Amino acid sequence: MTADSDTKITPELLLQGYASGVFPMSESVDDPDIFWVDPQMRGIFPLDGFHVSRSLARTIKRAPYQVTFDERFGDVVKACADRDETWINAEIFDLYSQLHELGFAHSVEVMDGDTLIGGLYGVTLASAFFGESMFSRRTDASKIALTYLIARLNYGDFTLLDTQFQTDHLKSLGAQEITRNEYRERLAYALEISADFYKLPLDVQPSEVLHLSSHTS
């Protein structure tokens, strides 16, 4: 689905797109155009079906890194775009930065002291979280970010975690593929439910994070 070239995509239009079941992408970082994507099959994470490996659980319990939220949003998006091929162009960066300022876009940061080593970002609407991208500069750093995100979503009464597409990596962590129609049904339900991204205390213990993020395998 291609956006009308005469239509300026604004943060408000972006939110309308998410609410209708589509999301924006570009062909590459050098392509200024943005188009809407409406895949026939959609990736989601059942919030009660996240797979935490025993090795990941041990790492989280040791707490070698600090996990923060919404403290370095721009740096997280830039890190997600720092790869050979990316759809995160300058306009997308600006749009999501505006959504962050409006309180709709959030980031999870995994920190080693002052060094950002992993994280993810996405958009919230009601009880839906739309995951956009993640990155990792240390072993398991993005998985740690995802574990903390899912714990926060479960505690905050979220009902939908959209991954857009399913990859083999996400599938190994519990992601599933559903049809476009089923996705829209789940999205419609999620948009009717209130949720709070900040409900979980910042000083939550790693053991509680593991409990809230579902079962260990």
**Amino acid 183: pLDDT:** 98
Task: Print burial letters for 143-152: b (CB count within 10 Å at least 16), e (below 16).
Answer: bbbbbbbbbb
For CA atoms 30, 35, 40, 43, the dihedral sign is positive
Give the DSSP H or E segment for 118.
strand 115-125
Residue 180: CB atoms within 10 A of its CB come to 13
**Cβ(155)–Cβ(129) under 8 Å?**
no
Q: Where do the structural domains in the chain lie, given as residue ranges?
A: 40-85+104-212
d(CA 91, CA 148): 28
In terms of Cβ atoms closer than 10 Å to its own Cβ (0-12, 13-18, 19+), residue 191 is middle
Q: How does pLDDT run across 87-121, given as a tens digit for each residue?
A: 788 888 999 999 999 999 999 999 999 999 999 99
**Amino acid 182: pLDDT:** 98
d(CA 104, CA 126): 10
* pTM for this prediction: 0.92
In the CATH scheme, what is the code of domain 40-85+104-212?
A: 3.40.630.70
**Cβ(213)–Cβ(154) under 8 Å?**
yes
**Distance set, CA 55 to CA 14, 59, 109 (Å):** 38, 6, 20
Q: Which two tokens stand for residue 185?
A: 């049904």
Residue in the structure block whose two tokens are 């409406």 = 38
**Amino acid 5: pLDDT:** 47
**Distance set, CA 140 to CA 20, 111, 154 (Å):** 33, 12, 21
**Amino acid 109: pLDDT:** 98
Q: Which amino acid would we find at residue 76?
A: V
**Amino acid 87: pLDDT:** 73
* Average predicted confidence (pLDDT) for the chain: 91
**Amino acid 85: pLDDT:** 74
Distance of CA 7 to the CA centre of its chain: 26
**Cβ(135)–Cβ(119) under 8 Å?**
yes
Q: Which residues of the chain have pLDDT under 50?
A: 1-5, 216-217
**Cβ(157)–Cβ(195) under 8 Å?**
yes
